[in-house]
Structure 1
């Protein structure tokens, strides 16, 4: 890890430790909640297995419908009012909004997502399994573990007859992994209608919550040149691939480690056959930043590079599309973090508080001003890889945390 990043995270840890003191915890846990959480460990893992073994990549409409069918049945069994809304593109699944009504005042929004980064067929190649205390399979912790945490926390609240809330709403997004194009307006509207948002992205490997997130963007570079026979008349061509290579090398310098801004080219395309100078080339890349001003700066620098191509008679166009806004730490997040730490202390556990370079729907919720905290899903690691895993022994404590957090927010509002 780069030394400046170590300093940044060390400083962040110190700030968090000072700003969010752990509240005194009660001598004993809430026995009713803990017992129900323990009783639901195996049923939760069974539902997790069904979800993981159903492919649901962001473009897999049939798979997303399959996940939605499983979840809808579970929610209806809980007595929730279940509504669906279509995604941005036909055939790409639907979003789910399920609501439980109570007798209190607090309005609490739970957020998770049904889509994964994996392609159709991955579940057949790597089906759910448990080995060495870890559950594996595509999407097991991102975010199917989060869905299961929501479902069984609601089971716990129902079982102990806790209804001291006005509403508890679960929003399940079908397009989070591609920037939530089919759900952003829905998420923002729901967040505005609630008093607190609990996002069920995976818990951090050190058993932590997420108190801030970077924003994300996608950059697009397109180069136009002139084609020619690579052997007969190469000098009459204007090589778009060469100019793209020049641009890529310079774009790679636009990150800023001191500010934790990253710029990475991730997709390159050029040419059709080996003996033709390519007249077009393109690249895509990923941009992450902690503050909006850094997106502005990267966009300006991209335009400057595009104005000065090195290969004569080529032209370059660039575009930076901003997806998730940054989720900064604020007083609302700190309050929820303090409360979460106190609740976890009831069962003798300690929550770490971390930031993440990954973007999530919590950023949309925080941006509209609703107190939001993230990372309340199942604990795991290896996100977005074939090594993704979920810690089986995190199921009970995480169920306890989520159910008790809903209870405490309800009783304090």
Structure 2
């Protein structure tokens, strides 16, 4: 095996300690998580069987209504933040006030799924320690890990001192626009927090749990090229030029050749060219007609841009613009960018959090977690708060098949993930966290 995976796995400590070193309250946490397992699975089933596709506003709100009593029973105050002004249902925030000066912790998840009411994939099915259903991992399973961890802290007496905000967005899979409004409350809470924990799915490589200290951005670009239509026999001449499709091809091939660097991708999702070629109103389709003996007058394409830092985003977008502006004879081109999810860059402070989690792994008798390659993860809501706070992502359960029919989750992973999270938050809540400059 070569490449990033081999490098990451070579850093793992392959032997676990012979004996755990948990304090009595932490031992109580592990026991409480295990004792609550079947209740957690029952709540997961109830959540999954409520359709909460992003655009099913009633369903998103129904899941929030199911969860509100769960948080209030733990001493949290809850608020459902309406987002109808951005054509989304809203977000559920739950707040717990602990000791003044103690670490301020933000737990992030989301209520919505990609499966709308029209999807045939609607029902929770359990087979032993595997569950299948829409959102069973992404992200309703993550919500269960959050609640299981908090219940265990309450049972162990460590929740009272903790300053925690749980932010469950209702549109993570398709954020409302303008995004500055749909993520306003999350960003404001990120500015309050010392530590952010993202409860998207656990990263696993070669059957080993991994730590997520970085996630890449998710942005879109749209490219339009134009040419002078005319008889195909005159193509490539100074008078007729190269046409819109050759200009589109030049640009996309230059992207392929000139832009590659570590942790950068720029997929072309779809394209069309002809006389004319037109983008669909939904920006998810294009139509065209043409003839082989006519120089095409227009071409359109859309793709994404994923980066590891804001600096990389800005630099690569500028390089793409330079390529677009170097037009072939008789053509023109324009590119526009839609910057959606920012990157969660790897930082020393994020790595220090992973090191703290690895101390807990050692105390629990679990293997050490190496850094998961960020190029293998998509974007998530934790990225919106990454500029303001230290963070760890991938704190949710282990699953597979997200965003597709047959999405599944390993129910046994709920236990170790909730235990890890609860012990980490217990230790953080017992101190005045050294806030980093961001």
Would the aligned equivalents of 2:111 and 2:168 in 1 still touch at CA under 8 Å? yes
**Residue of structure 1 in register with 2:114 after alignment:** 117
Quick one: distance in 2 between partners of 1:137 and 1:227? Answer: 51
Partner of 1:344, secondary structure, is helix
Structure 1 residue 107 corresponds to structure 2 residue 104:
yes
Partner of 1:305, secondary structure, is helix
Give the CA deviation at 1:246.
4.3
Give the CA deviation at 1:396.
1.3
Would the aligned equivalents of 2:78 and 2:92 in 1 still touch at CA under 8 Å? yes
**Residue of structure 2 in register with 1:212 after alignment:** 214
Choose the corresponding residue for 1:288, options 306, 331, 356.
306
**Residue of structure 2 in register with 1:256 after alignment:** 260
Would the aligned equivalents of 1:141 and 1:380 in 2 still touch at CA under 8 Å? yes
**Residue of structure 1 in register with 2:385 after alignment:** 365
Partner of 2:268, secondary structure, is strand
* Structure 1 residues 239 and 89: alpha-carbon distance in aligned structure 2, compared to 1, 3 A threshold: farther
Show CA shifts across 1:231-264 (max 9, x none): xxxx99996456434433433445425x121111
**Residue of structure 1 in register with 2:367 after alignment:** 350
Give the CA deviation at 1:142.
1.5
* Structure 1 residues 130 and 109: alpha-carbon distance in aligned structure 2, compared to 1, 3 A threshold: same
**Residue of structure 2 in register with 1:382 after alignment:** 401
* Structure 1 residues 225 and 170: alpha-carbon distance in aligned structure 2, compared to 1, 3 A threshold: same
Would the aligned equivalents of 2:187 and 2:384 in 1 still touch at CA under 8 Å? yes
Would the aligned equivalents of 1:25 and 1:342 in 2 still touch at CA under 8 Å? no
Would the aligned equivalents of 2:225 and 2:247 in 1 still touch at CA under 8 Å? yes
Would the aligned equivalents of 1:227 and 1:237 in 2 still touch at CA under 8 Å? no
Quick one: distance in 2 between partners of 1:79 and 1:175? Answer: 26
Give the CA deviation at 1:297.
3.3
Choose the corresponding residue for 1:303, options 318, 321, 327.
321
TM-score (norm 2): 0.79
Would the aligned equivalents of 2:225 and 2:331 in 1 still touch at CA under 8 Å? yes
Quick one: distance in 2 between partners of 1:214 and 1:127? Answer: 31
Give the CA deviation at 1:398.
1.3
TM-score (norm 1): 0.84
Show CA shifts across 1:119-145 (max 9, x none): 3333x4352212363222222212111
Partner of 1:262, secondary structure, is coil
**Residue of structure 2 in register with 1:223 after alignment:** 225
Give the CA deviation at 1:316.
1.5
* Structure 1 residues 236 and 335: alpha-carbon distance in aligned structure 2, compared to 1, 3 A threshold: closer
**Residue of structure 1 in register with 2:283 after alignment:** none
Residue range with higher mean Cα deviation, 331-340 or 156-165: 156-165
* Structure 1 residues 262 and 275: alpha-carbon distance in aligned structure 2, compared to 1, 3 A threshold: closer
Quick one: distance in 2 between partners of 1:238 and 1:60? Answer: 47
* Structure 1 residues 263 and 273: alpha-carbon distance in aligned structure 2, compared to 1, 3 A threshold: closer
**Residue of structure 1 in register with 2:185 after alignment:** 186
C-alpha RMSD over aligned residues: 3.3
Partner of 1:223, secondary structure, is strand
* Structure 1 residues 403 and 166: alpha-carbon distance in aligned structure 2, compared to 1, 3 A threshold: closer
Instruction: Provide structure 2 residue ranges, at least 5 long, that are not aligned to the other structure.
Output: 233-238, 278-286, 433-438
Quick one: distance in 2 between partners of 1:351 and 1:111? Answer: 24
Quick one: distance in 1 between partners of 2:429 and 2:164? Answer: 10
Quick one: distance in 2 between partners of 1:207 and 1:47? Answer: 25
Quick one: distance in 2 between partners of 1:117 and 1:237? Answer: 44
Show CA shifts across 1:326-380 (max 9, x none): 3233332223212212223333222423232322222222211x22111111112
Structure 1 residue 404 corresponds to structure 2 residue 423:
yes
Give the CA deviation at 1:406.
1.3
- Show the 5 A alignment for 1:322-333: 322-333=339-350
